[in-house]
Amino acid sequence: MNGTPTLDADNPDQVANASTMEIVVDGPGDINRLFIFTGTALVNFERDESEDPGTQVIEIQIILEKNLPSKKDFRGSATFASHGEIENDGSYTDDYGMAVLDSTTIAKDDGALRLVAHLEVRHDAKIGRMAYQANVVASLNG
């Protein structure tokens, strides 16, 4: 993968079992919606063996299934991501690993929601899947 891989939750070849719940809430403040997004991103990233042995950090972005009318409606999120499948081919060492360093959900200017995660890959690991959940709160009119 070159650059930042962007996966679309509406495409089952890129994100498996994607689902969205929209819940009407009353606060705090002007918050009136809670969106819960879950799925399994089919990352399929293998560390570039021409890189220095050790670690490589990549950023993954997932386009979530629902857009807000605009960025100004976004109030915040609680986002979680975890490795779902890792493997190695044993060619470098028996040691391998992967970590999710951080994850967050952002709103683009047009209201599109994206989950952004930074993954660390050690040695000859391959990341197959990454599970996620994004809980987004918003203020929607009408």
Place of tokens 């975890």: 82
% of the chain residues with pLDDT over 90: 63
% of the chain residues with pLDDT over 70: 81
- pLDDT over 60 at 2, yes or no: no
3-state DSSP assignment of residue 73: helix
Q: What are phi and psi of 71, to 5 degrees?
A: -60, -30
- pLDDT over 70 at 94, yes or no: no
The rounded distance, in Å, linking the Cα atoms of 40 and 123 is: 23
Mean of the per-residue pLDDT values of the chain: 87
pLDDT in tens, 39-69: 999 998 877 666 666 678 889 999 999 999 9
Please count the other Cβ atoms lying within 10 Å of the Cβ belonging to residue 22: 12
User: Tell me, what's the pLDDT at 48?
Assistant: 64
- DSSP structure class, residue 48: -
pLDDT in tens, 112-131: 999 999 988 877 677 888 99
